[in-house]
Amino acid sequence: MLHIICENEALKRAAHFYGRTLGLTDGTVVITLIDEHEHLGICDYFRAGNLAFIVLAKPEEPEELFCTLAHEMVHAKQYMKGELNFDKHEEYLAEWHGALYSISDELDEAYWFAPWEVEAYGMQIGLVELYLRELEKSGSVH
């Protein structure tokens, strides 16, 4: 069973939906909302315990929060399913489906074309759209 820990109930419900949609069946995702951060969101993972930590910065537009959460939940899926692994000793050395990638920083062109980012950016809008449809069906959105 996937466990979501988050004080914000709306984010918690969305994270459960995203997790189910992404096929996450076990592990724990801890979501923290903070006032400011240099990034809109980050996801870190600890294999021991199958534990993902997502930190979200409050955006100017509240709707962006659900999109950022969707993006970071894709990263949680990538970690939890063993698709993505970052070497903690080499800050920008990543293993994606067995292939090694080196990225100097997120301003590097390689960041934007890294397959795990392409997947996360590609899925975030679809996840939000599916979640909004689910809310409309249940009568939670007017």
The chain-wide mean pLDDT, for the chain, equals 90
Q: Quick one: average pLDDT of 42-62?
A: 92
What whole-number distance in Å separates Cα of residue 121 and Cα of residue 45? 19
Which CATH architecture fits 2-136?
3-Layer(aba) Sandwich (3.40)
Q: Quick one: average pLDDT of 5-15?
A: 96
Whether 3 has a pLDDT exceeding 60, the answer reads yes
With a pLDDT cut of 90, the percent of the chain lying above it is: 67
> H-type helices in 22-107, by residue range?
62-80
Tokens 């909004």 identify what position? 132
Residues 80, 84, 86, CA angle at the centre, nearest 5°?
110
pLDDT score, position 100: 85
User: Domain locations in the chain?
Assistant: 2-136
Half-sphere exposure (CA, 13 Å, Cβ side) for 58? 5
pLDDT score, position 97: 94
Going from the C-alpha of 136 to that of each of 9, 25, 124, 132, 139, the distances in angstroms are 17, 25, 18, 6, 5
Tell how strand 51-57 and strand 93-96 pair up.
unpaired
Q: pLDDT tens digit string along 70-120?
A: 999 999 999 999 999 986 555 668 889 988 888 766 666 777 888 999 999
H/E element, 101: strand 99-102
